[in-house]
Structure 1
């Protein structure tokens, strides 16, 4: 399908800016800290890259979604955490350092894992093969290399060379992300306006269950693995707050079917609603535990 220049050009540029923001949040010391004690990172990545996509596939089976909507749900589940997860983790008094590292590493890892999970989903969802919908590995790798890996590296380089400038730019990145997300959702609504109510009513319950399930999964897995409360919060948030901008970029530019991107649009709304519960629950959980130094970004006081 033909796409507007806003989607073909503006969306990748906007996502690249958002990923620069993640890079601006990273320093070599962040990686050094996690390298000295990598267990929390390993747990978070396994949950993010393996368990959450499996939950996504299970949700599509439970709700018996149409093939295209089901593929959209799997695409959301296979996507990494979003940059917003770092802010939500901070507000919920979780481990921000862990959240940033998980976002960065998962964003790079999905260059390979996302097409794999989408292909698995296309094979197991009844009727999906009739649509010949795929996420080509080569095209996706090139796209994500340009909008994720390189921008994150540039952000880290700027943070290392010009920390004061990096701080100022980082505040701007969050605004860009929100504006792009709202524009995408509006675009999907307009593009599917003749059947948007029916589609949302169909996929809405599935994405609500997916969001709540992966949040609970994150906290439970971290608890079973004997991680601290701050790490439990960080992983729960990371699994629940997705990079839906990336998901819609793939749906629009690689797959080229708006219906596939609808699940990401609805999930975006749902995850920002559950964010309030995450922040409230995290703060309650941390009342009886000291706030680790790593949970507060440099220059910010605990809220």
Structure 2
């Protein structure tokens, strides 16, 4: 009962606070970056919303995976970046303004795209293909999902922006606290998932680990090399790679645990939440070695 309350009530509340933290980093004029960096914004958003889920589907087809893990892999691939990607971009000497823009833009779009992509994954990797009724029950309700994501993505971002405009000093202090809070929430959720899965946790984490690592590497490569082919500056390509590599794992856990009610589907999000810090650190090393220090205004 306690774990159910923690997931059903605590998880949405925690994500609401984390998304408010994204809003605390924003001002209205920051959205002008969409105009200032149109090519980078278009590339980064399209790869997050469209290409990453498609890559996850291909990985799930190629690698032998339990259908629940396959759906979970698509879920985390379809999630946008989070506040952690903005922090990692700063340390990697990337384009922080672009990183924030991509995080917000992709977050807003995924309110509509996530239910479509997840239902596609449920159709491609049915958990009970022998029972049509079971497959129908596993469909993610479109309007309910949009309403849920809107309440925990769009609304808190707006609240965070309003708080920054009203009390910028308070917003600056709260932003740091929210970042730490997000890491704590992710750690607690991973521990809770392990406890719920019991003896199945080790094999599931092992089976999902390879697929998640391949997805993470593919996202980073897509950002670095795809961005270069798209004509992006090295700093912008690195930023896109960071956004594709550092996902909002808490959002993935919210969807799998509270909307799909599947601890097994949540495993890829949990594994991704751990591995992404290692890959993000590699990008920080690459950025600090190959990119000059950004101007103080950035």
Residue in 1 aligned with 2:217? 212
Question: What is the CA–CA distance in structure 2 between the aligned matches of 1:266 and 1:283, rounded to whole Å?
Answer: 26
Deviation at 1:105, TM superposition (A): 1.1
Deviation at 1:292, TM superposition (A): 4.8
Mapped contact 1:21–1:155 kept (Cα < 8 A)? yes
Q: State the Cα deviation string for residues 145-175 of structure 1 (Å, max 9, x = none).
A: 1111000001111111211111011011011
Q: 1:119 to 1:255 in 2, by over 3 A?
A: same
Give the TM-score taking structure 2 as reference length.
0.94
TM-score when normalising by structure 1: 0.92
RMSD: 1.7
Rounded to whole Å, the distance in 1 between the matches of 2:47 and 2:33 is: 20
- 2:251 is aligned to 246
Partner in structure 1 of residue 71 of structure 2: 71
1:91 aligns to what? Answer: 91
Deviation at 1:17, TM superposition (A): 0.5
* Deviation for aligned residue 1:110: 0.6
Check conservation: 2:67, 2:127, Cα contact below 8 A.
yes
Residues 107-144 of structure 1: CA deviation (Å, up to 9, x unaligned): 11111111111122222236565552222111111111
Question: How far off is 1:195 after superposition?
Answer: 1.4
* Structure 1: distance between partners of 2:33 and 2:266: 37
Deviation per CA, 1:45-100: give whole Å up to 9, x if none. 01111111110101101112111110000001111111100000000000000000
* Aligned residue number for residue 300 of structure 1: none
4+ long deviations beyond 3 Å: 126-131
2:206 to 191, 201, 205: 201
Give the direction of change, closer, same or farther, for the CA distance of 1:99–1:71 in structure 2 (3 Å limit).
same
1:1-303 maps to which residues of 2 (within 5 A)? 4-125=4-125, 129=129, 130=131, 131-132=134-135, 133-287=138-292, 291-292=294-295, 296=298
Structure 1 pair 53–273 and aligned structure 2 pair: CA distance change class (3 A): same
Deviates more, 1:35-44 or 1:211-220: 35-44
How far is the alpha carbon of 1:20 from its aligned partner?
0.5
**Paired residues of 1:139 and 1:254 also in contact (CA < 8 A):** no
Q: SS at the partner of 2:20?
A: helix
CA distance in 2, matches of 1:91, 1:134: 40
Distance 2:268 2:249 in 1: 9
Residues 223 and 183 of structure 1, relative CA distance in 2, 3 Å threshold = same
- Taking structure 1 as reference, are residues 37 and 80 closer, same or farther at Cα in structure 2, changes over 3 Å only? closer
Are the equivalent residues in 1 in contact too, given 2:33–2:101 (CA < 8 A)?
A: no
Question: 1:70, 1:2 → 2: CA distance?
Answer: 28
Taking the aligned partners of 2:248 and 2:190, their CA distance within structure 1 comes to 14
Instruction: Please give the secondary structure, in 1, of the residue aligned with 2:93.
Output: coil
Gaps of 5+ in 2: none
